[in-house]
A and B are shown apart, each in its own frame.
Chain A
Amino acid sequence: DAMVIQNPRYQVTQFGKPVTLSCSQTLNHNVMYWYQQKSSQAPKLLFHYYDKDFNNEADTPDNFQSRRPNTSFCFLDIRSPGLGDAAMYLCATSRGRTTQYFGPGTRLLVL
């Protein structure tokens, strides 16, 4: 009965090699979020989709992009990963402006 699913759970990429992380949900929530969480720190919002409307945080690097082809799926694209992009990436969903439910996360390692 997984509700917010993230694949893969662990991703290893090379410095500068594009990588895509995926998130899907079975909750039919209209809002999907991407957070970056580094060790011992709070999750940091990168961007979110409210329905089809993309909302980027002002301090999210241009290196990070997102796509939402339909209600259920959302992707995080990192165009040229640097060593500083190694982190846990968390996807979350909500129905409107309510509680956010998190997926299990994808841990990204950049070599």
Chain B
Amino acid sequence: GENVEQHPSTLSVQEGDSAVIKCTYSDSASNYFPWYKQELGKRPQLIIDIRSNVGEKKDQRIAVTLNKTAKHFSLHITETQPEDSAVYFCAASLNNDMRFGAGTRLTVKP
């Protein structure tokens, strides 16, 4: 089955700096890669996603890149703000079988 690895497990940045979270996946057939943000005690919320036929996608301060050959994808957050502090999960999905990475706890210091 699919295995998703996510790094780093914790990330601390200064407000205004950029943050990058990286994930790798094992099943080359996976074709959908969402990123979820989860604040303490709340539901995971989709922040951006990318499909296997696209290499890069951007939405304001958030961007995701996908390298199918290397089977890795990354989340980039620019101009970080304290409200970006949360746990971020990457996921890889084939059909309805979605596997999550272990999560990255991002802390943005004011």
Which parts of A16-34 form the interface with B (CB within 8 Å)? 31, 33
Instruction: Name the A residues within 8 Å of B103 (CB-CB).
Output: 40-42
Instruction: Name the B residues within 8 Å of A98 (CB-CB).
Output: 32
Tell me the bound Cα distance from A98 to B49 in angstroms: 10
Contact digits for B79-92, partner A, Cβ 8 Å, 1 yes 0 no: 00000000001000
Interface segment, one of B54-62, B67-75, B93-101: B93-101
- A105's closest neighbor in chain B, by CB? B43
How distant is A37 from chain B, measured CB to nearest CB, in Å? 8
A102: Cβ under 8 A from any B Cβ? yes
Instruction: Name the A residues within 8 Å of B97 (CB-CB).
Output: 45
B46: Cβ under 8 A from any A Cβ? yes
Q: Contact between A97 and B102 (Cβ–Cβ < 8 Å)?
A: no
Q: Contact between B32 and A102 (Cβ–Cβ < 8 Å)?
A: no
Q: How many residues of A contact B (CB 8 A)?
A: 22
Which parts of A22-66 form the interface with B (CB within 8 Å)? 31, 33, 40-45, 48, 50, 55
B45: Cβ under 8 A from any A Cβ? yes
| Tier of interface size on chain B | 20 to 34
Tell me the bound Cα distance from A94 to B46 in angstroms: 12
Contacting residue for A90 out of B43, B46, B93, B99, CB 8 A: B43
- Given the interface contacts A41-B102, A42-B89, A42-B102, does A102 sit within 8 Å of B44 by beta carbon? yes
Q: Contact between A99 and B34 (Cβ–Cβ < 8 Å)?
A: yes
A103: Cβ under 8 A from any B Cβ? yes
Contacting residue for A43 out of B42, B49, B89, B96, CB 8 A: B89
Q: Contact between B45 and A94 (Cβ–Cβ < 8 Å)?
A: no
Q: Contact between A90 and B102 (Cβ–Cβ < 8 Å)?
A: no
Tell me the bound Cα distance from A24 to B103 in angstroms: 27
A101: Cβ under 8 A from any B Cβ? yes
Q: Contact between A55 and B96 (Cβ–Cβ < 8 Å)?
A: yes
**Interface on A for B, CB 8 Å cutoff?**
31, 33, 40-45, 48, 50, 55, 90, 94, 97-105
Contacts beyond the supplied A97-B32, A102-B44: 17 A-B pairs with Cβ under 8 Å: A41-B103, A42-B100, A42-B102, A43-B44, A43-B89, A55-B96, A90-B44, A94-B96, A97-B93, A98-B32, A99-B34, A99-B49, A101-B46, A102-B36, A102-B45, A104-B42, A105-B43
